[in-house]
Amino acid sequence: MARVLIIDDEADIRALLRATLEAKHRYLVYEASDGGEGLSLQRKYNADLIIIDILMPKKGGFETIKEIRRLYPKVPVFAISGATYQGSKNLLLDKAHQLGAVRVFPKPFDIDVLISAVEEYLPCTAIPEPISNTEKETSFIAKIKIPLIIGIAFITGFILAKLL
């Protein structure tokens, strides 16, 4: 199962990304609120893709991206930022791209676009959950319930007709 590390100081952003990635694709998702915590989690879990905010307290995105590129050069990094644009350019995201982020997204971002980008880099793990025996039995009973009732009623009626 593919692993995604989200590094962002905004808990709401982390929660949105986690919920979407876990529900839609069942990725394993790890969260950090700053770059230092993120690097610690990366050492522990070796995420397959990292989504990182640029402006965070403590250890920020630029410094963390540089370190990720040095320590984990094959791990794709997506940078996100809510920083303001200057003209038609987001200079922070441009710099993140120069430092090695393979994709950049301004906040607020379109969650579907970001998830599509994740899908490009990670294998899709959205496989159906195995059906338990109880669910199989319930499903089978639901399918045969009405025909069974009709059949029993028919047989009962037939027997009663013979007896009377």
Encode pLDDT of 83-120 as tens digits: 766 555 678 888 999 999 999 999 888 999 999 999 99
pTM summary value: 0.73
pLDDT at residue 72, as a whole number: 97
Tokens 């399918």 identify what position?
A: 143
Angle in degrees, 0-180, between the axes of helices 61-71 and 35-45, rounded to the nearest 10:
20
Q: Which amino acid is at 109?
A: F
pLDDT of residue 126: 47
Query: For position 107, what pLDDT does the model report?
Result: 86
Calculate Rg over the CA atoms of the chain: 26
Residue 39's pLDDT is 97
- Answer whether residue 137 shows pLDDT above 70: no
- The dihedrals phi and psi of 135, each to the nearest 5 degrees, come to -65, -40
Q: Tell me, what amino acid is at 163?
A: L
**Is pLDDT of 128 > 50?**
no
Q: Give the number of residues written for the chain.
A: 164
pLDDT band of 27, cuts 50, 70, 90 = very high
User: What's the mean pLDDT in 31-38?
Assistant: 96
Mean of all residue pLDDT scores within the chain: 82
pLDDT above 70 (res 47): yes
Which of 10-24, 59-73, 126-140 is predicted with the least confidence, judged by mean pLDDT? Answer: 126-140
Distance CA 158, CA 94 (A): 81
**For 42-51, 53-62, 118-127, 154-163, which range has the lowest pLDDT when averaged over its residues?**
154-163
Closest C-alpha among 101, 95, 127 to residue 114? 101
Binned at pLDDT 50, 70 and 90, residue 135 comes out as low
pLDDT top residue among 152 and 70: 70
